[in-house]
Amino acid sequence: MRWFSSQAWVDVPTGGVVEVPLAQTGEGIAECELLKWFVEEGDQVEEFQRLCEVQSDKATIEITSRFKGKVLQILFVPGDIVKVGETLLKILVEDTPSSLDTQSPLTSVSDFAGVDCESSSDAEEEIVGGILATPAVRHLAKQHGININDIRGTGKDGRVLKEDILNFVSSKITSQEPPSISRTIIDEDELELLNNGKTLNMNFVENQHYEDKTIPLRGYQRSMVKSMSMAAKVPHFHYLEEINCDALVDLKAAFQSGNTDQNVKHTFLPFLIKALSAALSKYPLLNSSFHEEANEVIVKGWHNIGVAMATPYGLVVPNIKKVQSLSVLEITKELSRLQLLASNNKLSSEDITGGTITLSNIGAIGGKFGSPLLNLPEVAIIAIGRIHKLPRYDDDDETIYPASVTNVTIGADHRVVDGATVARFCNEWKLLIEKPELLLLHMR
């Protein structure tokens, strides 16, 4: 998602310095994590050029420039948490903006007349105690409790770079631990391999000690720590049930055999989502949010059904909006769109917000059972296991036949939803899955 900085434009004289703050990226967002910079100090930037990428609890956003000029100072490094309104960077403006935004609050603009571009850059670098480094690098050193004078800079003219700080921290940690144990910082590429179950090539040789790995949590992973910690404090009620999917297996095969659209691949999940929506219409309390401070439950009108997705960037839960109004085919296409965006870390705030209940399809990975935690403030979440063959008795309880079954676990906020309501809701959903022809009664 691309986001334009919301700083207002005042009459900026040639040679003026403008501060570019982190704009409000969404309702209720107070801070974002800086993921990466697309520019460096000293770079020339054009209007609408990408400056940096940030991530909130809800979306990944690109901050773009509406100024043409030179980047004088970058105030944060990747991994920093930036509060809304804090200055991300300073730009020496060459031209005044072509249009004025009078609706946004003013930001500070300082005159920089009479100082040429090169000398201003050097001034922002700060030479303290003979050490050349930017304020952002000095801030990073301060965060780690490091005296920057102890670091040998590898940049131009001995400038201390961010990498110099991180390498110094790594070597310092290693030297403080026992000889048999060392720690290194794992990068994002290695983390993606770990998330996908692949083995890292550590190039171990005989008698070399195994290393601990320090993994900084970024983006959605940082958000997951916060949301799961909150969810763990809520009293959960978990309800387990087995569902016969023979009819669903046949229905999916029929859909796929008659499919002429190469861009559509039919799976079980869209039908489960549609059946879930029909069950929610009968038991709307499961489609609610609980607000503890106000001590009230808000029963949601639309069924915005979230689907938990494991991505290289962490767990994310986009949702399919207004499922009551969608066909199974439309749900299939929307699910594919969300999966593609999630895999590329391109989900918008609209895709992620507004969910009313969540499905976690652990069966896609191979699991049979799960005990999911709520996606607050929602009051229900469902884990779906993989469909597998098991011997089951026929209705006469005498004939054994191979049945396609799945196990589902419904987690509910027990402060709001009682066990009997969860059981009745699950029975309704199960009936619609086992006898999909009944779902036609709910179609509009």
By annotation, the residues acting in catalysis are: 414, 418
Q: Tell me how many degrees the CA angle 210-176-145 measures, rounded to the nearest 5.
A: 125
Are the C-beta atoms of 250 and 256 separated by less than 8 Å? no
Are the C-beta atoms of 359 and 378 separated by less than 8 Å? no
CA–CA distance, 244 with 178 (Å, rounded to integer): 56
CA–CA distance, 289 with 138 (Å, rounded to integer): 45
The DSSP line for 408-419 is: EEEEEETTT--H
| Residue 37, both tokens | 């910079």
Are the C-beta atoms of 300 and 378 separated by less than 8 Å? no
DSSP H helical ranges for 355-399: none
Q: Which residues contact 104 (CB under 8 A, 6 or more apart)?
A: 6, 7, 8
At 204, the amino acid letter reads: F
Answer whether the bond into residue 284 is a cis peptide, omega within 30°. Answer: no
Q: Tell me how many degrees the CA angle 336-340-345 measures, rounded to the nearest 5.
A: 145
CA–CA distance, 167 with 174 (Å, rounded to integer): 11
3-class secondary-structure state, position 125:
helix
Are the C-beta atoms of 21 and 88 separated by less than 8 Å? yes
3-class secondary-structure state, position 11:
coil
| Residue 59, both tokens | 């979306």
Are the C-beta atoms of 322 and 303 separated by less than 8 Å? yes
- At residue 372, φ and ψ (nearest 5 deg) are -75, 150
3-class secondary-structure state, position 7:
coil
Are the C-beta atoms of 277 and 267 separated by less than 8 Å? no
- At residue 121, φ and ψ (nearest 5 deg) are -65, -40
